[in-house]
Amino acid sequence: MVMETPKPGSPTVQGVAALFQIEGESYLDRAQTRQAVAAGARLSVSYFLMNAAATLIAGYGLLANSEAVVIGAMLIAMLYGPILGIGLALAELDVRLLVGALLTEVLGVVWVVAIGIGVGWLHNNVPISEQLLARTTPNLLDMMIALVGGAAGAYATVAKRISGAVVGVAIATALCPPLTACGILIAHGYLNLAGGAFLLFLTNLTAIAAAAMAVFLIRGHRARPSGASFGATWSARLVPLVVLLILSVYLVDALRKNIDDSSLRSSVQRVLEEGLRAQPGARVIEVRLTTESGRRNAFAVVRSPEALTADMVAHLNDKLDSMTGRQILLHVRTVPVQEITRDGPVFVRSPSIR
């Protein structure tokens, strides 16, 4: 391997490298960094054991809808190390390290998904939780988090004083939970949702590898095989960036849809709350949105002493269409409730809507 030495007079290289030369900070040399990263990317019994434990913890945390338990699983999973290995291998163009890190990661992915399927099969009567659903709709924000997390993780690897920050990075760039969710959803037969969860993992993996590669390059891990052209050298390094670009097309659209849904959901909530003020005891509990045959549907659950009439819902629907400028079909499900004291019902019923 022939190391690429940047020109000393290059202000760009010096300026970027200066960001990683913080006064008072000490760094591992390239040999030490390579040894540490290669060790984390190596297959071992502990790799499978810890990922199995992390998957079981994540699986039951997802089924129990417990975010704290899922965070615990992130702390002990070992899927992050091989991705750093991929980043370093791309920086140094080390085929042997790249193949080893990819093999370790792929086997880890298959292992985690398989255990997730087992957990989902054993508990196929447990309903899909919000924690599971939250990992099925990745967007551009997830990619940005993974990019920053990957850069932070790589920097924490080369900087001696802040090596413990890798734990925080593992939490920020979740890898095990989306794969576990993918397995559980496959077992439940929700293949589309499982695909979304796997896409979240793939986004995180690619973004972390790309960001880590950039940090390692800046830290001086630049090498190319003897006789390799500059273009051929950088073509290999551009692979994760091209994958990120392809993913970002979908993720940007997903973010736009999320923002649109959030805005529409707020509009539905506002119209219902304003319209139900004259209905004592009525309260909006939930609003969901769907799209069928190109038409948006808004499903609202309302707790009220008295069910809403068709005329009342039609009035609310007209106000919603006027506010949003769209044709939306509003569905209202009323859950009857009544609060009673020794003096009788608390709420005075009044079906009118102003």
Q: What is the pLDDT of residue 6?
A: 44
Q: What is the pLDDT of residue 122?
A: 95
DSSP codes joined into one string, 203-243: HHHHHHHHHHHHHHHHTT--EE-TT--HHHHHHHHTHHHHH
Shortest CA distance to 310 belongs to which of 325, 327, 296, 331? 331
Q: What is the pLDDT of residue 350?
A: 45
- Residue tagged 């945390």 (tokens): 61
For residues 60 and 119, is the Cβ–Cβ distance under 8 A? yes
Q: What is the pLDDT of residue 186?
A: 97
Strands laid side by side in the 283-292 sheet: 283-292, 295-304, 328-336
Alpha carbons 201 and 106: distance in angstroms, whole number: 12
Which tokens belong to 292? 């069928």
Q: What is the pLDDT of residue 10?
A: 43
Each as own residue / partner, the long-range contacts of residues 24-28 (CB below 8 Å, 24 or more positions apart, any chain) are: 25/159, 25/160, 25/161, 26/159, 26/160, 26/161, 27/158, 27/159, 27/160, 27/219, 28/157, 28/158, 28/159, 28/160
Q: What is the pLDDT of residue 87?
A: 92
Q: What is the pLDDT of residue 9?
A: 40
Per-residue model confidence as pLDDT tens digits over 296-331: 899 999 988 888 889 888 999 999 988 888 888 999
What proportions of the chain, in percent to the nearest 5, are helix, strand and coil? 65, 10, 25
Q: What is the pLDDT of residue 144?
A: 93
Per-residue b/e over 17-53, b at no fewer than 16 CB within 10 Å?
eeeeeeeeeebbebeebbebbbebbeeeeebbebbeb
Q: Tell me the β-bridge partners of 344.
A: 341
Q: Residues in the chain, how many?
A: 354
* Ranges of the chain whose pLDDT falls below 50: 1-14, 23-24, 349-354
Per-residue model confidence as pLDDT tens digits over 79-131: 999 999 999 999 888 889 999 999 999 999 999 999 999 999 999 999 999 99
Which tokens belong to 3? 């190391």
Alpha carbons 156 and 168: distance in angstroms, whole number: 10
Q: In this structure, what is the dihedral angle of CA atoms 93, 94, 100, 105, given to the nearest 10 degrees?
A: -30
Which tokens belong to 157? 């690897």
Q: What is the pLDDT of residue 326?
A: 86
Shortest CA distance to 184 belongs to which of 128, 130, 240? 128
Alpha carbons 16 and 35: distance in angstroms, whole number: 24
Strands 223-224 and 328-336: unpaired
Q: What is the pLDDT of residue 19?
A: 52
Q: Tell me the β-bridge partners of 186.
A: none
Q: What is the pLDDT of residue 51?
A: 95
pLDDT over 70, % of the chain: 82
For residues 265 and 289, is the Cβ–Cβ distance under 8 A? yes
Per-residue b/e over 81-118, b at no fewer than 16 CB within 10 Å?
bbbbbbbbbbbbbbeebbebbbebbeebbebbbebbbb
Q: What is the pLDDT of residue 283?
A: 86
Rg (CA), the chain: 26
